[in-house]
Homo-oligomer: A and B are copies of this chain.
């Protein structure tokens, strides 16, 4: 019986990336849909997966939810699960924009083989899906986590600061972990926050946007580890290389976007494979991190 993956996303055209990754993970056939709205049409697609195979065979059909819009993907994720009843359900994986697998990969790079309990971590460019998820995972690992947004010339710093505070509140309400908002809108701010004893900086900014200048990070004595997920020049961290994989530069340990991305890809494939173990898997960022912990990098 073929392993079939129903690929759902809100973008008009279903992602090539996620489809190739799924085939490489051993999926026999993807049935891909772009432009998926959370209404009657969605029900039809999901019921089509729930009612075609019975009993133990149901584990051979699973759902992947992707797309570049994380918020829309989360709505689909919720709606899909509401359609299940009793044992008539399918395994589902949510990885819009690769954010969940990326967060799992970068946190594992930081944590693996180290005792990070009590370490101070600053998540820069942290208001996007990857930053938020990385912050939560690091807090759960016992880190004292600070979260800041990158400065954007087209937005008012006061508004950005309000957003950062709000996100930290929402994380505490939803996930029960405390994240500290950090107000950073220039190099002086960054120096001031790093000087509070930050041990780790995780840069989660957008592609092509430098977020941490070399002069800032090389002069922060408490800083031990820096990670960056931006693979497009200029990189998020000045002086890093995308291939840096625990590379020591200026006395700090650096992890660049390709090193993190290669491991992210392995997590992606392993997560897809675990969808087909049974018909009960609900794979969100936390379960993907658990998968990462069981893997060799």
Binding site for B on A (CB under 8 A): 1-2, 4, 6, 12-13, 15-21, 23-24, 29, 31-33, 36, 41, 44-49, 51-54, 61, 68, 261-262, 265
Known: A52-B265, A265-B52. A2 touches B15 (CB 8 A): no
Contact of A23 with B29 in the complex, beta carbons under 8 Å: yes
**In whole Å, how far is A206's beta carbon from the nearest beta carbon of chain B?**
14
Nearest CB in chain B: distance from A33 CB, A: 6
Is A41 within 8 A of B12, CB to CB? yes
Q: What is the distance, in angstroms, from A95's C-beta to the closest C-beta of chain B?
A: 14
Q: Closest CB-CB distance, A169 to chain B, in whole Å?
A: 33
Do A51 and B1 contact each other (CB < 8 Å), given the known contacts A23-B29, A41-B12? no
Quickly give the copy total for this chain.
3
Q: Which 4 A-B pairs have the closest CB atoms?
A: A16-B48, A17-B48, A20-B52, A16-B45
Q: How far is the CA of A2 from the CA of B25 in the complex (A)?
A: 11
Who on chain B is nearest to A16 by CB? B48
Bound-complex Cα distance A17 to B262 (A): 35
Contacting residues, chain B, for A44 (C-beta < 8 A) = 13, 15-16, 68
Q: How far is the CA of A2 from the CA of B48 in the complex (A)?
A: 24
With A2-B24, A20-B53, A24-B53 given, can you name 11 additional A-B contacts, CB distance below 8 Å? Answer: A4-B23, A12-B41, A15-B44, A16-B31, A16-B47, A16-B48, A19-B31, A20-B31, A20-B61, A21-B52, A52-B265
Asked if residues B31 and A49 are in contact (CB atoms below 8 Å), the reply is no
**Chain B residues whose CB sits within 8 angstroms of the CB of A6 once the complex forms:** 16
- Chain B contacts of A15 at CB under 8 A? 44, 48
| Of the residues B12, B18, B52, B68, contact of A17 by C-beta under 8 Å | B52
Most chain B CB within a 10 A radius of its CB, from A1, A19, A265: A19
Q: Which residues of B contact A265 (CB under 8 A)?
A: 52
* Inter-chain contacts of A53 with B (CB < 8 A): 20, 24
CB distance from A52 to the nearest CB of B (A): 4
CA distance A69 to B6 in the complex (A): 23
> Can you list 24 A-B contacts with CB-CB less than 8 angstroms, sorted by A residue number?
A1-B24, A2-B23, A4-B20, A4-B23, A6-B16, A13-B33, A13-B36, A15-B48, A16-B31, A16-B44, A16-B45, A16-B49, A17-B47, A19-B31, A20-B31, A20-B48, A20-B49, A20-B52, A20-B61, A21-B52, A23-B29, A44-B68, A51-B261, A52-B265
